């Protein structure tokens, strides 16, 4: 058995890879677990770019502080401010590092890194590599991890699924000392020892059926940690991206960079106008975002753009052809410009929708995209709240010592709504900044190494997981996991995305309980023990059903509207009662979440009204000004 102190990283996206690099650099071996080869992680789907203050923006009055303020304002003041402050100050250094790793950032004529405009900012501060920035960043980190792997400092366990954290309790309390994982090809289940475990497994879009997420983004890993005692915070904050291409299997992201580079959102002013969009004259087009938000126009933050599009289609019936669709128009920008700046996404639209965005306006609709909420994590603020203490062992540690959460799977940085191009930043920042904290925890705070723990702890953890698998394999029920998954997705999308209400959320919880009941009687069509994807899905579905309840219950308890969470029955932001984090704790007796509220650290920027300069639009008569909160 290996007696050296080591770290387990679960997940090989940007957060997991950045963390792996930093921890390996600190001299600790890393066992890297991923359901897919890490180069195929969901981070590849990120398109638009990564934000950082830069020299040009500085000369226009921008700085890290403005980036900080934009992020807090965009997040409707729900995030703890010290971690955000630290992150935005690291941003320019992270861009430099990625540049050194060879990321082909777009360049200006003078060989400088090019910049583009993005949602929630009036300054160009988004660095990009075509329209596949996430892919390019992921590849750069993947290459560095391969380098560490070649030196024997990183062991990859690809096609291994995280099943459960191993938590040991002694006189000093409980702590995480390893994981149980399953090889999804051989179906072997075994335990792995480590001094610390980092969960970096991304979001939970699959709970909503169709989303912009990759198929492995089920939220199962986060749910398993939650069921094992880790807290889950702000689950109700799910970002619905304003522009996605509807599809039979998923909703494909159409990057915000399309609007950042000048794309315009519009619908015909006449209901169910059947004309070819190119035949509709300018004065018969309703550029509703530009009219209502003259300052920000098409680059208002995502929650606002999404609600406006939803309102135009669902409430006002102005969607294209009377359906749930609006135009995202790039035709005025010219093919050469589009290929240079937006090539990747133009190609995706061409391939999947079969039309050329350089010639015809794209048809898009909002789709579930990102989870602002996630595993509850800690941090140590500097005394003046301006940043986090470097190297602190509790940086992004969950409430279980030794168990960390990096990237989208934690609840930090983005509050009630994430700004575009801040996700890549927060994932890499978590890995680099908090990876140092993990190393310090392992080297300085762990007194009894996992190698000295009794094997029975790990054996018991494996048997527990084996029992769950056996129960699924031997179940002879008639319910199909795919049918339950489909119904879960439809119900969650209908009840808990753009517009919510107490009555509808309660109805969804009822439906969820029925699905949870039916889940007890599922039967698998594949009961073999070799690469059984039927089993892996069924197993994850059980965990998705648990996490869905956290999302719904958080939505019920939060009786206000803030960022991505919009309640028709409580349309205003309510700072007096709800400038708080919702923290869900799993009750093993009932299988349900207990939700409590926790204070948010807002000591640097006091909350203010979040309007983005909204004015009444010419044809906007029907609708409350829901986005003007407070």
Partner 1 sequence: MVAPTAEALQTRSVRFRIKRQDRPGRPWRWESFDVPVEPGANVISCLQWIAANPRTIDGRDSNPVAYDAGCLEEVCGACTMLINGQVRQSCSCLIDQYAPRDGDVMRLEPMSKFPVVRDLMVDRQRLFHALTRTKAWVPIDGTYHLGPGPQDTPQSQQVRYKLSECMSCGCCLEACPQYKLEEHESRWDKAFIGAHAISQARLFNEHGTGNVLASDRLETMIGPGGVSDCGNAQNCVKVCPKDIPLTESIAAIGRAVTIHSIRKFFTGK
Q: Which of residues 380-399 bind partner 1 (CB under 8 A)?
A: none
With contacts defined by CB under 8 A, name the span among 78-86, 318-326, 440-448, 591-599 that binds partner 1: 318-326
CA–CA distance from 7 to each of 3, 34, 226, 403, 566 (Å)?
12, 14, 20, 10, 40
Applying CB under 8 A, among 4, 108, 463, 596 the residue interacting with partner 1 is: 108
Applying CB under 8 A, among 365, 370, 458, 578 the residue interacting with partner 1 is: 365
243 binds partner 1 (CB under 8 A): no
Smaller CB distance to partner 1: residue 144 or 234? 144
Count the helices and strands in the chain (H runs, E runs).
17, 21
Task: Confirm if 145 and 14 have CB atoms less than 8 A apart.
Answer: no
351 binds partner 1 (CB under 8 A): yes
Applying CB under 8 A, among 283, 456, 525, 590 the residue interacting with partner 1 is: 525
With contacts defined by CB under 8 A, name the span among 77-85, 243-251, 576-584, 608-616 that binds partner 1: 243-251
Smaller CB distance to partner 1: residue 133 or 223? 133
136 binds partner 1 (CB under 8 A): yes
Smaller CB distance to partner 1: residue 80 or 341? 341
Question: In the chain, helix, strand, coil percent, each to 5?
Answer: 40, 20, 40
Contacts (Cβ under 8 Å, ≥6 apart) of 460? none
Applying CB under 8 A, among 227, 255, 497, 516 the residue interacting with partner 1 is: 497
6 catalytic residue (yes or no)? no
CA–CA distance from 405 to each of 262, 394, 411 (Å)?
36, 11, 9
Q: Which residues of 497-535 are buried (b: 16+ CB within 10 A; e: fewer)?
A: bbbbbeebbeebbebbeebbebbeebebeeeeeeebebb
132 binds partner 1 (CB under 8 A): yes
Applying CB under 8 A, among 3, 4, 60, 93 the residue interacting with partner 1 is: 93
Distance separating alpha carbons of residues 369 and 238, to the nearest angstrom: 7
Least Å distance, CB 414 to partner 1, is 21
Applying CB under 8 A, among 470, 510, 526, 569 the residue interacting with partner 1 is: 526
SS (H, E, C) 374-395: EECCCCCECCCCCCECCCCCCC
Smaller CB distance to partner 1: residue 284 or 526? 526
Q: Which helix (H) or strand (E) holds 405?
A: strand 403-405
531 binds partner 1 (CB under 8 A): yes
Least Å distance, CB 517 to partner 1, is 20
Burial class (CB in 10 A: 0-12, 13-18, 19+), 306: buried
278 binds partner 1 (CB under 8 A): no
Smaller CB distance to partner 1: residue 366 or 555? 366
Least Å distance, CB 83 to partner 1, is 19
Question: Running DSSP on this structure, what letter comes out for residue 62?
Answer: -
Least Å distance, CB 238 to partner 1, is 12
Sheet strands (E) in 232-325: 232-233, 238-245, 252-253, 264-268, 285-286
Site map 451..490 versus partner 1, x via CB under 8 A: -----------------------------x-xx--x----
227 binds partner 1 (CB under 8 A): no
Task: Confirm if 37 and 158 have CB atoms less than 8 A apart.
Answer: yes
- Return the residues of window 410-449 that contact partner 1 according to CB under 8 A: 432
Least Å distance, CB 460 to partner 1, is 30
Distance separating alpha carbons of residues 49 and 166, to the nearest angstrom: 37
Distance separating alpha carbons of residues 124 and 229, to the nearest angstrom: 42
249 binds partner 1 (CB under 8 A): yes
- Return the residues of window 566-595 that contact partner 1 according to CB under 8 A: none
Place of tokens 């799977």: 409
Smaller CB distance to partner 1: residue 139 or 411? 139
Torsion of CA 127, 104, 202, 71, to 10 degrees: -10
210 binds partner 1 (CB under 8 A): yes
Smaller CB distance to partner 1: residue 450 or 536? 536
With contacts defined by CB under 8 A, name the span among 248-256, 418-426, 461-469, 580-588 that binds partner 1: 248-256
Task: Confirm if 301 and 361 have CB atoms less than 8 A apart.
Answer: no
- Return the residues of window 11-30 that contact partner 1 according to CB under 8 A: 21-22, 25
Which candidate in 264, 302, 504, 518 is catalytic?
A: 302
Active-site amino acid positions: 302
């Amino acid at each position: 058995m290996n007696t050296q102190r080591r770290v387990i990283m679960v997940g090989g996206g940007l957060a997991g890879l950045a963390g792996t690099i930093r921890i390996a650099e600190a001299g600790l071996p890393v066992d890297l677990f991923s359901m897919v080869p890490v180069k195929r992680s969901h981070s590849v789907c990120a398109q638009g770019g990564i934000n950082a203050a830069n020299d040009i923006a500085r000369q226009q009055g921008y700085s890290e502080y403005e980036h900080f303020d934009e992020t807090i304002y965009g997040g409707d003041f729900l995030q703890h401010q010290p971690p955000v402050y630290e992150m935005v100050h690291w941003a320019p250094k992270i861009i430099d590092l990625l540049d050194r790793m060879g990321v082909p950032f777009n360049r200006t004529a003078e060989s400088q890194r090019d910049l583009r405009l993005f949602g929630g900012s009036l300054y160009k501060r988004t660095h990009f590599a075509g329209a596949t920035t996430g892919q390019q960043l992921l590849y750069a980190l993947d290459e560095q991890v391969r380098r560490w792997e070649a030196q024997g400092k990183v062991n990859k366990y690809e096609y291994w699924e995280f099943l459960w954290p191993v938590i040991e309790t002694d006189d000093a309390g409980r702590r995480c000392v390893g994981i149980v994982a399953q090889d999804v090809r051989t179906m072997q289940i075994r335990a792995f020892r480590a001094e610390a475990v980092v969960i970096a497994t991304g979001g939970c879009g699959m709970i909503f059926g169709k989303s912009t997420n990759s198929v492995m983004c089920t939220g199962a890993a986060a749910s398993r940690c939650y069921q094992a005692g880790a807290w889950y915070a702000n689950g109700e904050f799910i970002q619905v991206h304003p522009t996605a291409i509807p599809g039979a299997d998923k909703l494909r992201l159409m990057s915000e960079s399309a609007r950042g580079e000048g794309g315009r959102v519009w619908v015909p002013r006449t209901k169910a106008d059947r004309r070819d969009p190119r035949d509709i004259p300018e004065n018969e087009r309703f550029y509703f975002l530009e009219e209502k938000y003259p300052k920000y126009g098409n680059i208002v933050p995502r929650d606002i753009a999404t609600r406006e599009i939803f309102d135009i289609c669902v409430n006002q019936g102005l969607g294209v052809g009377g359906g749930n669709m609006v135009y995202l128009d790039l035709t005025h920008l010219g093919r050469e410009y589009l290929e240079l700046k937006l090539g990747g996404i133009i190609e995706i639209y061409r391939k999947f929708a079969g039309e050329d965005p350089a010639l015809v306006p794209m048809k898009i609709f909002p789709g579930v995209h990102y989870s602002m909420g996630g595993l509850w994590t800690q941090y140590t603020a500097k005394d003046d709240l301006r940043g986090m203490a470097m190297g602190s062992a509790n940086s992004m540690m969950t409430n279980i010592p030794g168990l960390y959460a990096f990237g989208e799977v934690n609840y930090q940085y983005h509050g009630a709504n994430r700004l575009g191009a801040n996700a890549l930043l927060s994932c890499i920042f978590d890995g680099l900044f908090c990876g140092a904290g993990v190393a310090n925890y392992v080297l300085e705070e762990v007194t009894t190494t996992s190698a000295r723990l009794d094997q029975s702890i790990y054996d018991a953890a494996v048997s527990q997981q084996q029992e769950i698998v056996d129960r699924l394999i031997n179940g002879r029920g008639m319910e199909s996991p795919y049918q339950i998954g489909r119904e879960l997705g439809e119900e969650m999308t209908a009840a808990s995305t753009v517009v919510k209400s107490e009555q509808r959320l309660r109805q969804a919880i009822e439906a969820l309980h029925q699905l949870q009941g039916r889940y007890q009687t599922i039967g698998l069509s594949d009961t073999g023990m070799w690469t059984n994807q039927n089993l892996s899905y069924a197993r994850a579905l059980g965990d998705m059903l648990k996490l869905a309840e956290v999302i719904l219950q958080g939505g019920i308890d939060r009786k206000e509207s803030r960022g991505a969470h919009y309640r028709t029955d409580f349309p205003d932001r309510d700072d007096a009662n709800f400038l708080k984090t919702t923290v869900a704790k799993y009750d093993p007796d009932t299988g349900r979440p207990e939700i409590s509220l926790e204070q948010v650290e807002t000591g640097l920027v006091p909350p203010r009204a979040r309007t983005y300069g909204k004015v009444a639009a010419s044809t906007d008569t029907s609708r409350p000004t829901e986005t003007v909160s407070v």
